[in-house]
Amino acid sequence: MRIVDTDYLIIGSGIAGLVSALKLSKKGKVIICTKKQRAESNTNYAQGGIACVMAATDTFNDHIKDTLDAGAGLCNVEVVTKIISEGPERIADLEKLGLHFAERSAESGGGYDLGKEGGHTKRRVLHAGDITGRKIEEVLLDRIHADSNIRIKEHTMAIDLITTSWLRGAGSNRCVGAYMLNTSEGEIFAVRAPVVILATGGGGKVYLYTSNPDIATGDGMAMAWRAGVPIKNMEFIQFHPTCLFHPQAKSFLISEAVRGEGAKLVDSAGKSFMEKYDARGALAPRDIVARAIDSEMKSKGAPCVYLDIRHKPEDYLLARFPNIYATCLKFGINMAKDLIPVVPAAHYFCGGVEAGVDGSTALPGLFAVGEVACTGLHGANRLASNSLLEAVVCAHEMSEKILKIKLDTEDSRIAIPDWQYGAAVPSDESIVVEHNWNEVRTCMWDYVGIVRTDKRLERAWRRIRNLRQEIRQYYMDYLVTADILELRNIADIAELIVRSAMDRKESRGLQYTLDYPDRKDSPPPHETVIADQPGSHL
């Protein structure tokens, strides 16, 4: 088996992974492994922007308060304060790399064209039109292309982390690399490194309906859990309230910025309904808006609700939301003249691998940054556009910490055994993978969605456990493919979500259960941490 050595292995090519690579390449060799093309990441699909205090009328305290309010009493105040107060410096870093944020015209006073989104009391969302994430990816990848210390391996998917306790069976434990699958050629090889960084994003594909791209299968969280790393607060899945409802519009998001510019949520008769649920109307935090839409749809038997921004002129919509406008028009919807049909969809994981702002985890040698990590910033519900802020700040803090680490450790060149194929054969039953894939996602949507009950969670628990056993057997019997790896990972993530949701006997933030509709603040709210021994998951 081929073994590739490097100083830093980064798994994932979104903003968190790319910013980390550019900083770490100053001291050593970096390999970035990404399972599709290098630009394919959740970052690439981020429309809204980056929340950051940039206006004279805004303050860090205002942004901190908004974040804490959205987080429903479960945010780590120190983490929130650090990430928000460091935001302007990290925005300056991105601008030095060549990123340009939208600005207001001179007639409007100049300066940044700051947007406002749900849960924010001030305009503080920096954006580049409605394709902010794509612009960030382009700038960072251009810089990486020019850096001789960074190599990107596309179509390369991580199978599992490699740890010294697994290799030796005793002694101190640390992460020393990962087994990888070249999905184009089918080759399995290992990347050996004293520092391994998970920047794999979230796992929206565990749900039947999601705003996430197909790559979002929770790979990093699942690998970390299988390696015995604690996973925290997985019950808090944010459902974005407004995904475009159209049979051909796969996972297309209608940015919260559209509501920030005055769009109302209305029913099929054009009647606004959010005022019944929250005084902030369509700009209430996402958990409230998603539950309100879910309630409206169920009470009226409606397949969707609608966004109404017809009061804005067409030229304004074309300039502010060019990508959204063009996509809606492709499906026969003119934002300036028509109501936009929308439904909630799984969007963001507030939980994940338990990690510090500096990316450190319970497993030495392993770091986690971005959506894959749970730092304490988001608590029980993420404030809109805080995710890219967290990614860029934590990537900086993590890199600063790693650069101080001496890399020539005893374990950095430990012998890694060849991948064991055993009696595995090529699969002739790929239909089983497709059926299990659909069953996991349908089960999660039906029983572990926006509104939960004990009975639904118990049903989900039984089904997911059985499915995981079937998937495990399939994984052992057949040669590894990307499809089976992703299926294995979403099933693992599904179990983590269900177990965490069953442990929280209250409604808080994104966890809403009919059996425990009230929020319990006495005693102080707990965090749901799952820390199983490696290999104990079945």
Q: In whole angstroms, what is the distance from residue 36 CA to residue 306 CA? A: 34
Q: In whole angstroms, what is the distance from residue 385 CA to residue 118 CA? A: 9
What are the tokens at 96? 């030095």
Give CA torsion, residues 258, 287, 63, 370, to 10 deg: -90
Contacts of 266 (CB under 8 A, 6+ apart): 272, 273, 305, 306, 307, 308, 339
**Phi, psi angles (nearest 5°) of residue 30:** -120, 135
Other residues' Cβ atoms within 10 Å of the Cβ of residue 424: 13
286 is catalytic: yes
Helix (H, G, I), strand (E, B) or coil at 512: coil
What are the tokens at 306? 């609608």
Residue 480 carries which side chain, given as an amino acid letter? V
Residue 371 carries which side chain, given as an amino acid letter? E
What are the tokens at 451? 């509104």
Which one is catalytic: 90, 134, 174, 286? 286
* Closest among 83, 145, 35, 74 to 359, alpha carbons compared: 83
Beta bridge partners of 115: 125
Chain Cα centroid distance, residue 358: 18
Helix axes 482-503, 454-477, angle to 10 degrees: 150
Angle, CA 46 vertex, CA 40 and CA 51 arms, to 5°: 140
Angle, CA 507 vertex, CA 245 and CA 390 arms, to 5°: 65
Chain Cα centroid distance, residue 238: 10
Q: Under a CB-based contact definition with an 8 Å cutoff, are residues 500 and 527 in contact?
A: no
What are the tokens at 108? 């409007």
Q: Under a CB-based contact definition with an 8 Å cutoff, are residues 261 and 213 in contact?
A: no
Going along 28-121, which residue ranges are E strands? Answer: 30-33, 50-51
> Is cis: bond before 213, omega within 30 of 0?
no
Which residues are catalytic, by number?
286
